[in-house]
Structure 1
Amino acid sequence: MDRTLKCFTNCLLCVSGELVAQDIYFSTEQGTITPNYYYRQEGVERIDLDGKIVSPGFLDLQPNGMKGVHFTHLAQGDGFEDDERKLQEVSEMEASHGVTGWWATVPTVDRHQWKEILPTLKPRTFTSGADLLGAHVEGPYINESKKGAHNASYLVEPTQISPSELYGDGSLREAVKLITLAPELPGAIALIGQLQEEYPHIVISLGHSSATYDEGIAAMQLGARALTHVFNAMNPLHHRLPGLAGLMSTGKCHYSIILDGIHLHPSVVTLCMRTDPRKCVFITDSIELAGMPDGLHPGHGQIPQRQLKQGNRVTIEGTDTLIGSCCTLDECVRNAVAFTGCNLAEAVQCVTENIADLMGERKRGKLEPGRRADFAILDSEGTVLETWISGNKVWESTSA
């Protein structure tokens, strides 16, 4: 028997928002999904999933950290090996929640820290963990009036310092894959055009912004393609002044939502998913307290005050200011089903196919021949039972 060719059988596949009863073949040697004509070949190892659901491996677009690791703390410890250990721990936790690829979000830090942190976040793989796909820099080109938990003293305008001087040209070419900025800042529109010309692989997203709808349209015309945690850290949707949230209706940009049950009301989640099911993206916005016990936790360089964790809700001590979330991506999927009544495949699409389309990932995020054999095996409730990367099982639930 050729153990390099496998087939999931007696299963349902998540394909474009629908559950499809179909076998799926993949090669462990090539690490890719293969065409189904291999059913004629002798010796295929068939894995009976007993009606379980096969999803593409989840893609985590905006974690700031988890399991005690905050990405702003990298390059400040005991050197490269310490950073590698921290990232390995994150990659393993991601895999345990069905994630097979993730981008590390670095929120606003002191201007001198960017060049220290970003080189540690170049794309790479980890043993038995999800792949790091690069960095998302959320700042410092954001509006102080919508800073959220970002440190106002670190914010700058595009006219004050260039991206190459701030992040480093090498990091812009190798590590940075997504930049969130506020388009209303002086020089921001010109910056978007410059970034698209010099670093066309970088996705520009609008967020932490008080921009008007028209300012958002101008940014999109220059190449911006997304909205970062829509409704949060931006002006509210008004029937005469729609703001950035109004761009969801254009069909021309993706938009992420924090689906932890705290940042958005369930009815707003429904609005977002129904507005454009192929452009809606789920994110966790998780911070380092994800996977940690509830209670008061110390601050750090970005959040000098103590942090109060209560389930998924984390606030600056003594305030109602949300710092981020402690939600996991599989929890976001289950929340979407509970909040909106959508089917599981529709929710899965928002953490797989839609993110792959946004980020230009042609080898991930879809169950198509030639794409990576990255899978999350789910039960009917959306609980992750197994995670597979490049055709090999890297995690399995002990309760499966």
Structure 2
Amino acid sequence: MTSDTRSVGTLSPDHSAAQTGDEGETWLVPDSIFDGQKLRRGAALVIRNGRVDRIAHADDAPPDHKVIDGVLSPGFIDLQVNGGGGVLLNTSPDLAGMMAIAEAHRGLGTVGILPTVITDAPEVLARVVDAAIAAKGQRGILGLHIEGPHISQARRGTHAARHVRPMEQATLDHLERLRQAGLKIMITVAPEAVTPAQVARIAAAGVVVSLGHSDTDADTTREYLAAGARCFTHLFNAMSPMQNRAPGVVGAAINSDAHAGIIADGIHVADEMIGLALRARPVPDRMFLVSDAMPTVGGPDRFDLYGATLRLEEGRLVNSEGSLAGAHLSQAEGLWRLVNVLGIDPDAALRMVVTIPAGLMGLDDLASPVGRDLRDIAQLSADLRFKGWLAD
């Protein structure tokens, strides 16, 4: 992608009168700025006291403005992060583990994550919940994603069969504690392991219920959407496929107005299937990227899960059963592939790593550069590769 072919927006013509470089202000003029909805060319970020004060028209910049090559954007948001920097949340279920994972992904352009605990023993989930509460307000930690254990045995993927179980009171109590602490929470469940009434109760408490790891049919899926589920976990993966007379979870998801995460590493989902799903959704801006990252992202090429060692081989993480065991992917790489491999419009692709995941979790302030610390503003190349932060 070159600068003359990008889809960019322009500033509204009613911008304020020319600024003269008020004392304490710094004007930054990049090639373009992602404002949360579109790329704006001919725009400037006005900085005051280490934060973005406003987006202004570049023509109004004072003579001492600073020119920056490339694109400025809010940092990326990732709602499904199992690990990073050599750390797996399931095996390091504490505050230090969460912070190490967040720091590893920050180095790759992601400003906020939902640390994700997958199916495990009850005591592991309990420790992760304690860690998430302790992590409230810590830089880079947005809340918690509980993926399992209340999923389908048939579509458990790399999740350990011995820990898969129906919804239980302990999990409901954990969710209540997390919400009382004011945390943003997502939980992945399968209809096979939870009732519509339980979904309704969880959703009413402000938890984002995401359907995944399920072998159910489309009609049942729609029943659970009606009960309060409003998202799907890694679309296409670990769910009943779409067939001509059996839409499955995949077909129900694509035809719905629910949100859906998707992995864009070219391994979990074929690139053409991602494009098909994006074009087929009845409501725009309901798809967002997740990394589903494992400890190898920003870390060594192997790690232990459930007592077995998993290795990275040719970009794939596979367990002893041959199932994909998470992804070796960052949001930055997923964004680059969307634009440069799939040909997705850059505005739409940036919304998929910033605006849509932030909005789903009720964190709309993270979708705009205005008001943000300079440490949270990413510098991207013209082809949307992550280059670093405005400040660190």
Question: Which among 57, 74, 93 is matched to residue 56 of structure 1?
Answer: 74
- 1:217 counterpart residue number: 222
Distance 1:275 1:16 in 2: 23
Distance 2:34 2:256 in 1: 23
- 2:29 counterpart residue number: 9
Instruction: Look up the SS of the partner of 2:65 in the other structure.
Output: strand
Distance 2:66 2:186 in 1: 38
Matched, 1:135 2:153: no
Question: Which among 188, 195, 200 is matched to residue 195 of structure 2?
Answer: 188
8 Å Cα contact 1:16/1:346 also seen in 2: no
Deviations 1:328-360 (A, max 9, x none): 111111111233212333222110111112111
Counterparts of residues 132-281 of structure 1 (less than 5 Å): 132-158=141-167, 160-165=168-173, 167=174, 169-174=176-181, 175=183, 177-185=185-193, 187-197=194-204, 199-200=205-206, 202-276=207-281, 277-281=284-288
Instruction: Look up the SS of the partner of 2:245 in the other structure.
Output: coil
Deviations 1:177-230 (A, max 9, x none): 101101233x42111111122x22x11110001121111211111221110001
Question: Which among 344, 349, 361 is matched to residue 346 of structure 2?
Answer: 344
Q: CA deviation at 1:47?
A: 2.8
Question: Which among 56, 67, 72 is matched to residue 85 of structure 2?
Answer: 67
Distance 1:5 1:338 in 2: 36
- 1:366 counterpart residue number: 368
Counterparts of residues 315-354 of structure 1 (less than 5 Å): 315-317=318-320, 319-354=321-356
Q: CA deviation at 1:131?
A: 1.4
Instruction: Look up the SS of the partner of 1:60 in the other structure.
Output: strand
Question: Which among 98, 109, 117 is matched to residue 120 of structure 2?
Answer: 109
CA RMSD of aligned residues (A): 2.7
8 Å Cα contact 1:64/1:105 also seen in 2: yes
Q: CA deviation at 1:17?
A: 6.1
Q: Point out the more displaced range, 30-39 or 4-13.
A: 30-39
Distance 1:251 1:8 in 2: 41
CA 1:40–1:95 in 2, change beyond 3 Å: closer, same or farther? same
Distance 1:33 1:248 in 2: 39
8 Å Cα contact 2:86/2:300 also seen in 1: no
Distance 2:214 2:41 in 1: 44
Q: CA deviation at 1:22?
A: 3.3
8 Å Cα contact 1:15/1:345 also seen in 2: no
- 2:54 counterpart residue number: 34
Q: TM-score, structure 1 length as denominator? A: 0.83
Distance 2:221 2:269 in 1: 21
The runs of at least 4 consecutive aligned structure 1 residues that moved more than 6 Å come to 37-42
CA 1:323–1:84 in 2, change beyond 3 Å: closer, same or farther? same
Q: TM-score, structure 2 length as denominator? A: 0.84
Q: CA deviation at 1:176?
A: 5.3
CA 1:145–1:101 in 2, change beyond 3 Å: closer, same or farther? same
Distance 1:155 1:170 in 2: 22
Question: Which among 315, 329, 332 is matched to residue 312 of structure 1?
Answer: 315
Distance 1:12 1:311 in 2: 35
Listed as ranges, the gaps of 5+ residues in structure 1 are 76-82, 395-400
Q: CA deviation at 1:94?
A: 1.7
Q: CA deviation at 1:74?
A: 2.9
CA 1:9–1:37 in 2, change beyond 3 Å: closer, same or farther? closer
CA 1:188–1:162 in 2, change beyond 3 Å: closer, same or farther? farther
- 1:356 counterpart residue number: 358
Deviations 1:89-123 (A, max 9, x none): 33332222111111101101111222212121235
The letter of the residue matching 2:322 is D
Counterparts of residues 90-129 of structure 1 (less than 5 Å): 90-122=101-133, 123-124=135-136
Q: CA deviation at 1:289?
A: 2.1
